[in-house]
Structure 1
């Protein structure tokens, strides 16, 4: 039963979240009432872990995207902020050490199966679509060093292929 102020109970919201995650066949955990951890499978970022936390008036959505950049912090922050203006339901943010997250809030009344599907899709899309660019900006030197090291040792470059255009000196810049 909804409360008179329009806010819904944790149990009501948990039921909507659980049904949505089951219908979407997403791996998830429910460690306690009002708390969900969802694995969103991607292609560039193989998995984005998204937390859904029921608060008193809203559902908080939070997903780790990447650790703090090694270099070009201002360039990465600019890139992320420019994307925020065009994003749906969540925005890029950083924590106290500079790790990158996607965060958002939904009022209780907006927590429906369709809206959860849209928000989780947005989280997955933004984390996955921009991941390689974020790594190139914030970790380019490390990626180039790793590429060189693997080439010298004859190691596989398979999981670095997405960065070949800028990491492989034989391809020309």
Structure 2
């Protein structure tokens, strides 16, 4: 087993990741050496907040995907688990309360600007591509109630007297 990285190597990786994020033009916070909270923007999942954290032996990648499904948890988790066979660098996982994340670890020796770009691209595309189907599976009842409520509002607006 290799020894944990020293301060100089941690600083080098910190600079490498900072430069890569600046070059990518993504919004991020840098709360501590080796810790970055990156905001990835999408079309379906509008924002995916993603941690990049330099650990002793790996770069941790962790992004919140969605809350625990309100219904059809097995179907939702099964759908996302089936996606893991085709992912690179990160995979869908759940925490102890059932919330869903994209998580992964990359050896520090593999961390380059290109790899940071690739990992963030994967997180962004996996989150965006799978968000609508996962929400539809895990929150179908809430979506239907929202549609009914909006339809009722539209119907009521059409019959309500207009102010003069």
Q: TM-score, normalised by structure 2?
A: 0.89
Contact kept, 8 Å, 1:7 with 1:109, in 2: the verdict is: no
Q: Which runs of 5+ in 1 are unaligned?
A: 156-173
For residue 154 of structure 1, report the CA deviation from its aligned partner.
Answer: 2.2
Q: How does 1:103-118 map to 2 (within 5 A)?
A: 103-118=103-118
Matched, 1:98 2:98: yes
SS at 2:115's partner residue?
A: helix
**Deviation readout 1:19-68 (Å, 9 max, x if unpaired):** 11100000000001111000001000001000011100011000000000
Paired position in structure 1 for 2:162: none
Larger radius of gyration between Structure 1 and Structure 2? 2
Paired position in structure 1 for 2:159: none
Moved over 6 A (4+): none
For residue 153 of structure 1, report the CA deviation from its aligned partner.
Answer: 1.1
Contact kept, 8 Å, 1:6 with 1:109, in 2: the verdict is: no
Number of matched pairs: 152
For residue 94 of structure 1, report the CA deviation from its aligned partner.
Answer: 0.3
Contact kept, 8 Å, 1:44 with 1:132, in 2: the verdict is: yes
Paired position in structure 1 for 2:75: 75
Q: TM-score, normalised by structure 1?
A: 0.84
Contact kept, 8 Å, 1:68 with 1:98, in 2: the verdict is: yes
**Deviation readout 1:91-145 (Å, 9 max, x if unpaired):** 0000011000000001111110001100000000000000000000000110010
The separation in 2 between residues aligned to 1:7 and 1:117, in whole angstroms, is 22
The separation in 2 between residues aligned to 1:21 and 1:46, in whole angstroms, is 19
For residue 7 of structure 1, report the CA deviation from its aligned partner.
Answer: 4.5
The separation in 2 between residues aligned to 1:54 and 1:6, in whole angstroms, is 11
Q: How does 1:144-155 map to 2 (within 5 A)?
A: 144-154=144-154
Paired position in structure 2 for 1:39: 39
Paired position in structure 2 for 1:125: 125
Q: How does 1:29-68 map to 2 (within 5 A)?
A: 29-68=29-68
The separation in 2 between residues aligned to 1:33 and 1:7, in whole angstroms, is 13
RMSD (Å) for aligned C-alpha atoms = 1.6
Higher relative contact order (CA 8 A, sep 6+): 2
